[in-house]
A = this chain, B = another copy of it.
């Protein structure tokens, strides 16, 4: 690469990371350590869950039984740090900008940029669909996605909807909320339903109390979205529910992507639904 190219890359990693492989390389080299949302635009990003083989069958079953919360895009062979159906030359232990480490159900403080030293021959990685493809479709239909227009992470709430348990993996469904006018809500539901691998249609709309949420202004995670007069809250399942299930099952070791720091795949975002 020319000196000038190198300069520009340092100056604006988002511009330099327009292709998925370039984005993953910059992350691996430590030149990008923030959220992945703006990187490799138009390409599918996935949430990551890694558990030991002894817990992997139960986690796979959790995904099969709760496909709206955990849309399974790919699963690694034990010990393998690649997911060849999603990305070429992938190193799952280094190609995400941040990881959370959970031991016996207890999360380490902070996050790590590299988990190579923790990877074991018995670890199995699961890549899960996120709301990204659905959000892109909503915006393509000129619907306002509030957390995007307000430039913050979506508000997260722990609902009272039980996950369908698989072995010790159990807990409640976490949901994200996006507000719409009644007319836009109808269109949002119609469009989102076409993207089952991006959580699909909402699980609830209207009264937050009906699914155990006290106050929209005080989310359990993320940042509250402003509600405008006459707007209705729509609630979608979130892969964040995996953290709760892992806390309950207490596998010896589990790795998750850090919030907003996802696996960038080579797949065009439209393929998320089709594969």
Contact = CB atoms under 8 A, between A and B. Distances in A.
Interface of A: 53, 56-58, 60-61, 64-65, 67-68, 72-78, 85, 124, 164, 166-167, 193, 196, 200-201, 273-275
A75 B61 contact: yes
Contacts of A200: 274
Contact of A57 (B67, B124, B196): B124
Contact of A273 (B58, B167, B196): B196
A55 to B, nearest CB: 10
Contacts of A76: 61
A125 to B, nearest CB: 11
A75 B85 contact: no
A272 to B, nearest CB: 11
Contact of A196 (B61, B164, B274): B274
B57 A64 contact: no
A77 B167 contact: yes
A275 B66 CA distance: 9
Given A193-B274, A274-B193, A85 B65 contact: yes
